[in-house]
Amino acid sequence: MFGRKLHLFSLFGFKVGVDFTWVLLAVLVTWSLATGLFPYYFKDFSTATYWWMGVAGALGLFISIVFHEFCHSLVARRYGLSMKGITLFIFGGVAEMEDEPNSPKAEFLMAVAGPISSLVLGGVFYGVSLLGGRVAWGAPANAVLSYLALLNVILAVFNLIPAFPLDGGRVLRSALWQVKGNLRWATRVASAIGSGFGVFLIAFGVFSFIGGAFVAGAWYFLIGLFIRGASQMSYQQVLMRKALGGEKVSRFMKEQPVTVPASTSVDELVNNYFYKYHYKMFPVSNGAGLSGCVTTRQIKDIPRDEWQRHTAGEILEPCSPDNTITPDTDALKALALMKRSDKSRLLVAEGDRLLGVLTLKDMLKFLSLKMDLEEQ
């Protein structure tokens, strides 16, 4: 889902970071508040005051989303779910789970924790604004607090829409799961509703844009695209976890893969291996055992006229936890490693002894076959 992320801080063991698209959202929110909403509803402030109010409003949005996702994460931890952290991006925030909830009850409580926390935080902001009115600490501060109170109520209400993967969609999934006892079926139904809601927002955005509401229309369209894509991806993740969970890497790996001697020149490597076998990664052996691997990425860093002067052993990527796994590694952990390291092929080894190569293509083929044979 995310591109490059910036780690900000850790809170009670949860890593909080921002995707770089959040910067765009922060700028847009600050600009909209400083030049649109606050000047329209609150008159006679200076331009500088409006901009400070915009910055404070954007900061309050950040705090509100982190608090919302943090409450999700606390409940998830209470029920034994491993959380990768909290990431903010252009459409809000997400608490990143490594697995699905283990029961409808856990799903329900984790889902409702977010909207409840937003309502509570909205009440806190509203109460502080009332207190500020009594102590007369300034109209701009009260304006920002009132905005943040309303914002959290809107955040809670929007998230309660029964469109997966919104919190309301997760509540719906927990109810369907409880009724039928089938997480896959419940996810399929909730995801279909979420996808339909996404299509509705896309269409509403198009009509709004045509009607002259260009900015709002564009936002509705983009949010609809995101919800539709996220709902479909969430269902696919459930299928993948159910199909691959508990499977070991040894079931998918290719044994006796083609290996490259460390003394092979880069020119020979390209012509006799990459162009011949059409793989993007090859294990490199030094005679005594596995040294690492060489990929097309290393080749690109060497000028064409220097290929004869360098060897595979000189440019290889040494074995590391980013490219090498053991045969008893869970398949889902291997997939997570592929995603994190942006690799589609991994070395399977014990010590310096190469056992095979794991490819994303082979795992997806297995997934497709298993779904064809076992889907009811």
pLDDT at 124: 95
Same domain (yes/no): 137, 278? no
The HSE-up count of residue 268 (CA atoms within 13 Å, CB side) is: 11
Same domain (yes/no): 146, 53? yes
Q: How far lies 317's CA from each of 70, 134, 347, in Å?
A: 38, 65, 11
Query: How confident is the model over 4-48, as pLDDT tens digits?
Result: 677 777 877 788 888 888 888 888 889 989 998 899 888 888 999
As a whole number of angstroms, the distance between CA 179 and CA 163 comes to 18
Among 244, 278, 303, the domain-final residue is 244
Same domain (yes/no): 204, 114? yes
Query: How confident is the model over 240-279, as pLDDT tens digits?
Result: 777 777 789 898 899 989 999 999 999 999 999 999 998 9
Count structural domains, the chain.
2
Q: How far lies 52's CA from each of 5, 33, 45, 58, in Å?
A: 26, 10, 11, 10
pTM of the model: 0.75
- pLDDT above 60: residue 344: yes
Contact 216, 271 (CB under 8 A): no
Split at pLDDT 50, 70, 90, the class of 376 is low
Query: How many angstroms from the chain centroid is the CA of residue 73?
Result: 15
**Residues, the chain, total?**
376
Same domain (yes/no): 103, 161? yes
pLDDT at 219: 83
Among 244, 269, 285, the domain-final residue is 244
Residue 53 corresponds to which amino acid? M
Same domain (yes/no): 190, 79? yes
Query: How confident is the model over 139-188, as pLDDT tens digits?
Result: 888 999 999 999 999 999 999 999 888 999 999 999 999 999 888 889 88
Split at pLDDT 50, 70, 90, the class of 375 is low
Among 244, 262, 288, the domain-final residue is 244
Question: CB-based burial of residue 141 (10 Å sphere; 0-12 exposed, 13-18 middle, 19+ buried)?
Answer: middle
Same domain (yes/no): 20, 153? yes
Same domain (yes/no): 240, 253? no
Q: How far lies 374's CA from each of 238, 239, 248, 366, 371, in Å?
A: 15, 11, 19, 12, 5
Token duo for residue 100: 């699905």
* CATH number (domain holding residue 329): 3.10.580.10
Same domain (yes/no): 176, 288? no
Same domain (yes/no): 273, 369? yes
CB-based contacts of 48, cutoff 8 Å, min separation 6: none
Same domain (yes/no): 181, 257? no
Q: What domain range includes position 109?
A: 5-244
Average pLDDT score over the chain: 87
